[in-house]
Amino acid sequence: MAEPAGIKGMVDIPGDKSISHRAVMLASLARGTSRIRGFLRSGDTLATVAMMRSLGVAIHEVGPSELRIEGVGLAGLSRPDAVIDAGNSGTTMRIGAGLLAGQAFSSTITGDRYLLRRPMARVIKPLRLMGASVKGREKDTLPPLNISGGGLKGIRYPTPVASAQVKSAILVAGMFAEGTTTVVEPMPTRDHTERMLRSMGVDVVTDGREVALHPPGSLAPLDMEVPADFSAAAFFIVLAAAAHGTEVSLPGVGINGTRTGLLTVMRRMGADVRLDSRRDIGGEPVADLGLRGRGLSGTEITADEIPSMIDEVPAFCVAAAMAHGRSEVRGASELRTKESDRISSMIDALAELGVNCGEYPDGLWIEGPSVIRPGRRVDTRGDHRVAMAFMVLSTATGVPIELSDTACIETSFPGFMDLLADIAPPRLTSLP
């Protein structure tokens, strides 16, 4: 039902959030100076920068998206003077917990009111098995976390949930442990930590769903460029694919297969997506994405597809609302533990807009194409990806939607509204 929107142009997507976090944490532990170009400067990643500064690392902002980091070596971090604030960022808190577990000093890490509700037992348990003392609120399930580390030993740990944050927390702690640390995943998750550690000279071996790390003597500094963030590009992919007559190009986007499940899904829905000039940037595969809109049809997403599109489900939901036929997502209960409960955030908002849809305990269904009721208010629940998804729906359909909050978009994609306004006719852009 999407109107021909005349959406045409090139969009420069900012750097990858997951890779930016990792670059800051790992470069801080390197011996020597690292240069990170294409760094995503957002609320979440700046929380990681602040955390590493509070641990004694000198991090210089050389330009708007370039950092110079004076690594202090694996033994060089110092005790923070104050409580560390991860803000809204689960990645800062969870991978940060792995890093802090390796330190002989004690520290406390907290977050905003959304992060304080997110599950932490998944990192507390393995870090304790490695020998750290980690305590949390509500019987050690919620933040803030109090961590006293050091004297760790390597473990072999099957993670009960597919989580790159948990895997990375264990691997980072493993760098400070005696002996090998092995993580066995129920399903493969993003492997940016493993790739980056290898590029820094660490012996990390992946064998199927197992990743084994042998503690390094030291890490070589990074000199890298961060690819554009596929999860940010996803909003423009959906916008371009769902409307007719669009032509959008997105240069230099990361296409690591552990992240691009949405591409497979969008193609199944009928999207015309080209991947041109495939190349490697900073040890990650990258391509220029070209999209032409020709409308979409509904599809079913199963549990095995979820890890590679875990952050793209809000964008998928708005694509499904515009597609012909029924769409379904199952095996996705992890969505309930994100910045908001993304199953209920998306379904409540879509229902408010008049979309025929519903929830399952582990997923959702959506019947499209829907006629979107104009002028309705959507509660974003402070969740950046929910806000961006509805900006896309409004822009693609030309129906104004009022959002309870757009400031949350800063956590992952400052500049999103401007980029959207640049390629979409202004009359289609909703205002909060």
Which residues contribute to the site for ligand S3P (CB under 6 A)?
18, 21, 91, 163-166, 168, 190, 310-311
Is position 405 annotated as part of the catalytic site? no
Compute CA distances 77 → 110, 251, 333, whole Å: 19, 37, 37
Q: What share of the chain is helix, strand, coil (3-state, %, to 5)?
A: 35, 30, 35
Q: Which residue, 163 or 299, has its beta carbon nearer to ligand S3P?
A: 163
Q: Least distance from C-beta 213 to ligand S3P, angstroms?
A: 16
CB-CB neighbours of 388 under 10 Å: 29
Instruction: Compare residues 89 and 397 and give the one whose CB is closer to ligand S3P.
Output: 89
Q: Which is nearer to ligand S3P, 16 or 367 (CB)?
A: 16
User: Rounded to whole angstroms, how far apart are CA atoms 72 and 70?
Assistant: 6
Q: What are phi and psi of 183, to 5 degrees?
A: -115, 130
Return the number of other C-beta atoms located less than 10 Å from residue 83's C-beta. 12
Question: Tell me, what amino acid is at 85?
Answer: D
Rg (CA), the chain: 21
Residue 393, Cβ neighbours under 10 Å: how many? 29
Residue 168 or 181: the one with the smaller Cβ distance to ligand S3P is 168
Question: Which of 16, 288, 311, 341 is flagged as catalytic?
Answer: 311
Query: Which residue shows structure tokens 């309705």?
Result: 376
CB 311 within 8 A of CB 355: no
Burial class (CB in 10 A: 0-12, 13-18, 19+), 269: buried
- Comparing CB distances to ligand S3P, the nearer of 18 and 299 is 18
Tokens representing 206 are 């992946």
Task: Of 323, 29, 78, give the one whose Cα is nearest residue 201.
Answer: 29
Closest distance of CB 192 from ligand S3P, Å: 7
- CA separation for the pair 306, 258 (Å, rounded): 10
Nearer to ligand S3P, 98 or 368 (CB): 98
Query: Cβ of residue 18: shortest distance to ligand S3P, in angstroms?
Result: 3
- Cα(290)–Cα(251) distance, integer angstroms: 8
**Residue 192 is encoded by which pair of tokens?**
């940016």
Among 388, 323, 312, which residue's Cα sits nearest to residue 357? 323
For residue 314, cis peptide bond before it (omega within 30 degrees of 0) = no
Please give the Cα distance from 176 to 307 (Å, whole number).
28
Q: Return the structure tokens found at 317.
A: 């939901």
163 or 370: CB nearest ligand S3P: 163
Q: Which residues are catalytic?
A: 311
